[in-house]
Amino acid sequence: MAKQEKILWGVFAGILVFLYLLSSTDLIIKEKKTEIYPVSIVIGDTTDDYYVNFRKGVEQAADDYNVDISFITLFEKEDADSQMELVKREIEDGALAVILEPVDPVECMSHMDTAALGSPVIVAGELLPVDSVKAAVSIDHYEAGKKMGEAIAAEHEPELPVYIFTDNLGHSYNGEVFEGLKSVLEEKGFAMAVYERKSPDTFRKVIEETVYPGSGTAVVACLDASSTSEAADIIGGSPVYGRYIAGLYGTGTTPSLLGQMDKGVIRGMIVSNEFDEGYLCVEKAVEAIRRGSAREQITLETYYIEKTDLRENKFEKILYPID
């Protein structure tokens, strides 16, 4: 091989090595870096047991929008002060947005009015008139209560009393569900009694009393998933109670609740697309981070379902979203 040709091959090899080194150090071919958005979700409970479908929606949106999700539960129930402390802590620790399910919307709003939050807040509930709240995703809780009341009134005579169970009437939006339920039952002439959970056996004692001589039958209506689950476990645990509880109505979409409905323990439930709720909360959080989106309230539809609806295509997509 001629000397000149050897030199040319050497130069060519050197160029190849040089280009390889440049590309491997991102000086020529720069890899596009994927931006990750840290978002924290502070729910209004001490457990996420009742957030199965909501969490599936959150996880799907997190994959679609490159979001690093932190799911935060409360240390104690009904504690708006500690919930807002968690919100502040998450922002201080680097959360670019927080999704908040307020245990007490009024108290949380008061905290946000006086706090300088450095990141946008998306509310899983009603839009709060606070600058830091950029969007809200919720159902019409009053309308949900009305739908439950209409179902009870259509299936039972007003001579039957309605026992209303709830973890706490002031918790989150339980009060709005109650007002909707009450508006229908009062109009139809039903007598009502409200029972808030004061001890672990509050609901059990009420149900047990129905079997006493002279007590008669009753309808049980639950305002939240937790009380629905407990009432279903009590009634489903003894065939005796089923003879005195004319119907159990509640709310929620957890697999255990749907299973109790399939067994016939729960007569009817108010449900919504919790998968979409979780997805939209994350989507709105990303929009607020990227471009400070305009304030927006998204209201999702609620549905009253019974056992026969569990296999309907329309409701299967809502109740059993694909993992």
Shared domain check, 117 and 166: no
User: Has residue 131 been placed in a domain?
Assistant: yes
Shared domain check, 236 and 282: no
Contacts of 73 (CB under 8 A, 6+ apart): 43, 45, 46, 47, 48
Q: Identify whether the C-beta of residue 38 lies closer than 8 Å to the C-beta of residue 95.
A: yes
User: What is residue 112's predicted lDDT score, i.e. its pLDDT?
Assistant: 87
Q: Among the listed ranges 30-34, 38-42, 269-273, which one has the minimum average pLDDT value? A: 30-34
User: Has residue 211 been placed in a domain?
Assistant: yes
User: What is residue 117's predicted lDDT score, i.e. its pLDDT?
Assistant: 86
Last residue of a domain, one of 251, 282, 311: 251
User: What is residue 211's predicted lDDT score, i.e. its pLDDT?
Assistant: 86
Give pLDDT tens digits for 164-205. Answer: 999 989 887 899 999 999 999 999 999 999 999 999 999 999
Give pLDDT tens digits for 244-276. Answer: 999 999 999 999 999 999 999 999 999 999 999
User: Has residue 179 been placed in a domain?
Assistant: yes
DSSP letter at 308 equals G
Answer with the residue of higher pLDDT: 39 or 10: 39
State the average pLDDT over residues 119-127: 93
Shared domain check, 134 and 150: no
Tokens linked to 165: 């169970």
- The enclosing domain of 152 has a CATH number of 3.40.50.2300
How many structural domains comprise the chain?
2
Give pLDDT tens digits for 58-105. Answer: 999 999 999 999 999 998 777 889 999 999 999 999 999 999 999 988
Phi-psi sector, 209: left (phi>0), alpha (psi -120 to 50), beta = alpha
Shared domain check, 277 and 130: yes
User: Has residue 282 been placed in a domain?
Assistant: yes
What mean pLDDT value characterizes the chain?
Answer: 90
Give pLDDT tens digits for 127-149. Answer: 888 889 999 999 999 999 999 99
Shared domain check, 125 and 156: no
Shared domain check, 154 and 93: no
Integer Cα distance of 105 and 19 in angstroms: 60
Shared domain check, 135 and 107: yes
List phi, psi (to 5°) of 24. -75, -15
Structural domain including 45 reads 37-139+273-301
Residue 323 has pLDDT above 60, yes or no: no
User: Has residue 162 been placed in a domain?
Assistant: yes
Residue 120 has pLDDT above 60, yes or no: yes
pTM score, two decimals?
0.85
Give the Cβ contact number of residue 124 at 10 Å: 23
Shared domain check, 155 and 114: no
